[in-house]
Structure 1
């Protein structure tokens, strides 16, 4: 496959491995629940995150908890028009990169410099985003003509050309934009790639197929099982989705899997369809299903099993390749004016566009990540969708600029709690021609008549010219209802490993999470076998971290005797080891010295 080369590429190919791992420090949690809407460490944990800090380091810090878990990534990176004040100057330890990333972005006469610099900035960030993406997930990136082709080549290299879904044109400036060139470009693009599987994307509208059945409420078709299958289908993955549903005979039904393990429902209690089923079991389709051969749960070899009842004739998937009605930049600007009362951010994306992108994700519980968060439109879109359909989508925003708190987080707070909002209605519209301009006094009189007709209905009027049309808008003061929800606000904290040693200012729990991730590529289990040094077991291996920042720890016979359970193999971290190498070999024990053998990722 052809590949793109640029000056400095060799130094950034694996730069993401050299980025220091920093701790995420939670500053506060904000929630629609007044009891949680406080700047307090005692606030309840939220699954939504807003992170202030360099997005490359923030993405690295997300890996232990989120690698392979993010279902939808949307980013709106700098378009590299030649006018940005670059803040993405990574401290790469290479004279070649320092030369290119340390310079001010050039104008068109220095075009090569500008594109090399942009590619050096983007490449390591895309590498980390690819690691965070779920196997069924997708990434969508807004871009314009300046870097479209370079971005496409880099995405082909990182994600694979076979995983390219589409390059979607988006009409952002119906008038063609401000350019005075022969070709006025009023559109941008969204590049969409998947990690591996296309099944995580919604594609098109289609009729619901299946045998039509009837109940007391009318016709329905058997839908999906209410139990979650496949990845993340255990109770421990989503403890809040383990609860009882009443079967037709009045018994409590829990989402046990066919193998007898405790599973989870596909939906939470607050999902609208689940609310109806909890009120009346007949809103689900029930049948008896056997467990796997030899499996007995609570003395039973079979249990009641519920299915969704689909009453809609058609499932809407909303998949267009030219977006000409929902992506106007003016919509995003007006939204921010509604929220803040003034224009405080340049070129924000409209919420409708990001909702369209997020809604391509075929998972109403999925995680959405935006590492170029800007004004916070992505969080706004996620909260809107959750309110509309009862979903439980989560968002993670990363913003490195100082407005992360004053604009990004503040917007999300206002959306969650509600805000004063002017309601605008178009009362008059007229396409202007040269003839109309000549009779300007008549048009002014028409506008005055419309104002007089509606003066009791509106607080004020605004006249605007848009797409060669003169419009009169009636403005009425109003309130925008809050979406509900919550988020936790974080700052990037200290490095976990500094100058080759463990940073003793870092909480031990964070070090344990990091170690377990470096060993297993999985999240540290919430519980262990009771031993204070036990991290967890994975694929037959038991991991132990014998650590005390105030004294030296030693792997010896006393420690080994304290291990309460037998495993196939053991990996034990400690400062020293006095056990003979032959003993360790004979008992399948791997000793790793702190900090020398702690892996950097």
Structure 2
């Protein structure tokens, strides 16, 4: 199988392991609690939605302990690497942040990288981390254009496995030519899709359109209703399926050379008896199979062509963003249409799915999640990551805030407003909320490998669960609450038949040595019981080996076993 190589690859393929785990620090003044009865959550919570401001490589590492293996759909719109330095994301991947990162990670060799090498160095560790978030039946969609689509395919073949490639969708991004182009106008982008495990993936069928239904007619007044016909031959010769058919007109026909009928003779006779074979209005045409509209009412199988009428285009998306944010629209030349993201959600998510976008930009993914929930009663949740502080606060979060609460197209401030003097109407809110977080300046572990003193039980519990199981640990409540120890139990949960415990930060309310952080006989007596094997994380252990074996306990000392 072809592989992709570039300058710096040997260094970045394992770089995700070297990225430190940081903590998510809530910013209450930038968060939006969900109103009672609206959105996915209840009064006072955030609907399970999260917006994180910070470098997406560090943010993904921080999110893994909570969300690994829980995301149904990932959508990202990374830099296209066009060579254009005028975009907000500095699209030739030559930004000061990327240069600094390459200098630190790749070293002196990075000075010789061209823009394609830099793009691959940036993308590789992020895609490696993103894969860990997907459920077994989850899928990732990546927007890209001709500049890097070939490299992206090979990159994702390596990370996700070539056998998990699902499709490359073609997305119409404009409906008219650009006469300023010297040779041709690109009117499409690509949407590359891979599954975590393709065999486990199932895509929903799309609602039928009037245009699609119009193809069904009933020229023979069949009582089963409108139908269309399909070819009854296959592009392959099979001796058993090559036989003559006599038409109502009396003429005898066989498939063309190199072809055969798509059904054996016995099946054809049954279909003929059921009036499912069409020979044309005069009975002299090659036979075709009748397919009834009533049999496809469950919807249409998605195609690889996303036309602008189904998924929007750049002109529509810029107009949409201008109507919501007004003064901030110049930051984005080509925001993605909400209709495109809704199309992805309709195909690849259930009504309670978790959706992740680590290149959040203008916040289209969150907007689409809230809109789709409002339309079908779903409780999908989103996680967005945006690197730029200004964009995260004033574009990403602000857009989500306005579409959730309602806004006026004629005003510069969010909130439902009466129609303006120009007759512009207020747009009703979709409901929902979000928690806004930043990344901690310091990692979970200090320079000496010790757990930082300000780390809460809830924060360490996420990390311990992930280190032990490789899966995400959902908190009982949002980060802005639940920092009090009584909200939690030292028994984090049971995974694959073993109970996982954490003794840390006074979880047992000082009933024993070191506030319950040390495993002693007295501590063991008050732990929630479990009949099977137990893994206990604690600062120290005072039990002997015989007692540990008798109780089925595997002891793991913090922080040393956690210094991943």
The answer to whether the superposition gives a TM-score over 0.5 is yes
Instruction: Write the deviation string for residues 333-364 of structure 1: whole angstroms up to 9, x where unpaired.
Output: 11111112243332111111111111112412
Aligned with residue 573 of structure 1, among 531, 537, 548: 537
Residue 512 of structure 1 corresponds to 461
Aligned with residue 445 of structure 2, among 478, 481, 497: 497
User: 1:120 offset after TM fit, Å?
Assistant: 0.7
Residue 25 of structure 1 corresponds to 25
How many residues are aligned here?
A: 437
Distance 2:170 2:537 in 1: 53
Distance 1:324 1:536 in 2: 47
Q: Judge conservation of contact 2:75–2:142 (CA < 8 Å) in 1.
A: yes
In structure 2, the CA distance between the partners of 1:169 and 1:459, relative to structure 1 (3 Å rule), is farther
Gaps of 5+ in 2: 213-293, 411-419, 477-484
Residue 482 of structure 1 corresponds to 429
Residue 78 of structure 2 corresponds to 77
Greater share of helix: 2
Q: Judge conservation of contact 1:49–1:397 (CA < 8 Å) in 2.
A: yes
Distance 1:74 1:383 in 2: 15
In structure 2, the CA distance between the partners of 1:386 and 1:565, relative to structure 1 (3 Å rule), is closer
Q: What is the RMSD computed on CA atoms of the aligned residues?
A: 3.4
Residue 277 of structure 2 corresponds to none
SS of structure 1 residue aligned to 2:163: helix
Distance 1:408 1:171 in 2: 24
Distance 1:532 1:48 in 2: 24
Gaps of 5+ in 1: 104-109, 208-310, 423-457, 461-475
1:340 correspondence with 2:325: yes
Map 1:99-498 onto structure 2 (within 5 A).
99=108, 113-177=114-178, 180-196=181-197, 197=199, 199-203=201-205, 314-317=297-300, 319-325=302-308, 326-342=311-327, 343-346=329-332, 347-402=334-389, 403-421=391-409, 476-493=423-440, 494-498=442-446
In structure 2, the CA distance between the partners of 1:95 and 1:517, relative to structure 1 (3 Å rule), is closer
Instruction: Write the deviation string for residues 133-155 of structure 1: whole angstroms up to 9, x where unpaired.
Output: 11111111110111110001011
User: 1:166 offset after TM fit, Å?
Assistant: 1.4
Aligned with residue 589 of structure 1, among 542, 553, 562: 553
Q: Judge conservation of contact 2:206–2:347 (CA < 8 Å) in 1.
A: no
Instruction: Write the deviation string for residues 433-454 of structure 1: whole angstroms up to 9, x where unpaired.
Output: xxxxxxxxxxxxxxxxxxxxxx
Greater share of strand: 1
SS of structure 2 residue aligned to 1:189: strand
User: 1:407 offset after TM fit, Å?
Assistant: 0.8
Instruction: Write the deviation string for residues 355-413 of structure 1: whole angstroms up to 9, x where unpaired.
Output: 11111124121111111000001111111111111111111111011210111111111
Instruction: Write the deviation string for residues 86-144 of structure 1: whole angstroms up to 9, x where unpaired.
Output: 2652876986713466x6xxxxxx8x611111001101111111110111111111101
Distance 1:114 1:418 in 2: 42
Q: Judge conservation of contact 1:529–1:536 (CA < 8 Å) in 2.
A: no
Higher RCO (C-alpha under 8 Å, 6+ residues apart)? 2
TM-score (norm 1): 0.66
In structure 2, the CA distance between the partners of 1:531 and 1:124, relative to structure 1 (3 Å rule), is closer
User: 1:525 offset after TM fit, Å?
Assistant: 7.3
Distance 2:562 2:149 in 1: 40
Distance 2:314 2:117 in 1: 28
Q: Judge conservation of contact 2:70–2:472 (CA < 8 Å) in 1.
A: no
User: 1:564 offset after TM fit, Å?
Assistant: 5.2
Q: Judge conservation of contact 1:75–1:370 (CA < 8 Å) in 2.
A: yes
TM-score (norm 2): 0.70
